[in-house]
Amino acid sequence: MSASFPRAGSGAQPERGVARGSAEGRAFLDPEVVARLAHLDVRARLVVEGFIAGMHRSPFHGFSVEFSEHRPYMPGDPLKNLDWKVWARSDRYLVKQYSEETNLRCHVLVDLSGSMGFKSPRAAMSKIEYAQSLAAALAYLMLHQQDAVGLLLFADRPLRYVPARAVRSHLDVILKSLAELAPQGRTRLGPALHELAERIKRRGLVVLCSDLMDKPADVLSGLQHFRHRHHEVVLFHILDPDEIEFPYTDSATFVDLESGERLTTEPWEIARRYRERIAAWTDHYRRSCREHRIDYVALDTRTPFDRALLAYLEKRARLM
């Protein structure tokens, strides 16, 4: 396939939005419901709580503490820590000790390039709003698991870097950074990925949220840099449904959100070739990621957030 994606899909939109209602509980996994929540911290909390409510087993169990050894019981020790099985076998009072340590150091990378601002009438959220909500939910979940989380925001260059920390108060820093910057500039993932790969010294997990509107060779080179340094990588490929399906039928002028370039065309004349190219483009990313042991998760902005959160937890579980 060609090295770059056709610019008509680079967040371009015709020159011509909107949420419907839903139920409670797991409804907060629905982007249409989340889009109506004004504050990012509320979005993050309700998405995570909705996710946990729908799981058979809490993802928090066993993530932040690991059994280390036994020691003799001392007056004042909580009775819940007594190992009653050992007592039944040996009549000895021993307490389970746990090593409380950060199990994971994760960096969430969020693409803020101009194409991420695209939002079609069929989508409740723009791509950047979806990425912000997903990144906020991941940060909320990780910090509640006592994992360390950092953040890199970038467009044509790195815009803000927040080092990973594991304290709960760090969530405010993450959320403020996510909310402050708007889509801007062109997509240049390669330099941002290589810079962060050089910054991170300790092996961990890297999560990228992007529409990948860049040369696949540059993107994959940056991701391979992380793999070369033994990081685990999860790639959330976020697209708008209209970018995938190209449902336009009437004559339209498309405007590239990054370059301002305009294209007037009859969509029905190019629709078939467009869909073939985007299918080949996404398949190229999927196959290349599989070859390099990178978890590739295709999402559109209508996808419930639990699909992305489950992908994270599955990768998280394999790291333990």
Please report the pLDDT score of residue 221 as a whole number: 95
- The proportion of the chain whose per-residue pLDDT surpasses 70, expressed as a percent, equals 83
Tell me the CATH architecture of domain 7-59+103-319.
3-Layer(aba) Sandwich (3.40)
Please report the pLDDT score of residue 252 as a whole number: 84
The residue-averaged pLDDT of 78-95 equals 79
Sign of CA dihedral 143, 125, 209, 116: negative
Please report the pLDDT score of residue 80 as a whole number: 72
Please report the pLDDT score of residue 311 as a whole number: 87
| Residue 107 · residue 160 · CB < 8 Å | no
Please report the pLDDT score of residue 4 as a whole number: 35
| Residue 211 · residue 239 · CB < 8 Å | yes
Which of these ranges, 8-12, 26-30, 50-54, 183-187, has the smallest mean pLDDT?
8-12
Spell out the domain ranges in the chain: 7-59+103-319, 65-100
- The pLDDT tens digits of the residues spanning 151-210 come to 999 988 888 999 999 999 999 999 999 998 888 888 888 888 898 888 888 889 999 999
- The pLDDT tens digits of the residues spanning 46-63 come to 999 888 877 644 444 434
Highest mean pLDDT (candidates 5-9, 245-249, 284-288) = 284-288
Please check the confidence at residue 242 and state whether its pLDDT lies above 60.
yes
Please report the pLDDT score of residue 320 as a whole number: 61
Which of these ranges, 7-11, 108-112, 198-202, 281-285, has the smallest mean pLDDT?
7-11
| Residue 209 · residue 319 · CB < 8 Å | no
Please check the confidence at residue 235 and state whether its pLDDT lies above 80.
yes
Please report the pLDDT score of residue 24 as a whole number: 52
Which of these ranges, 23-27, 180-184, 285-289, has the smallest mean pLDDT?
23-27
Please report the pLDDT score of residue 62 as a whole number: 38
Please report the pLDDT score of residue 64 as a whole number: 41
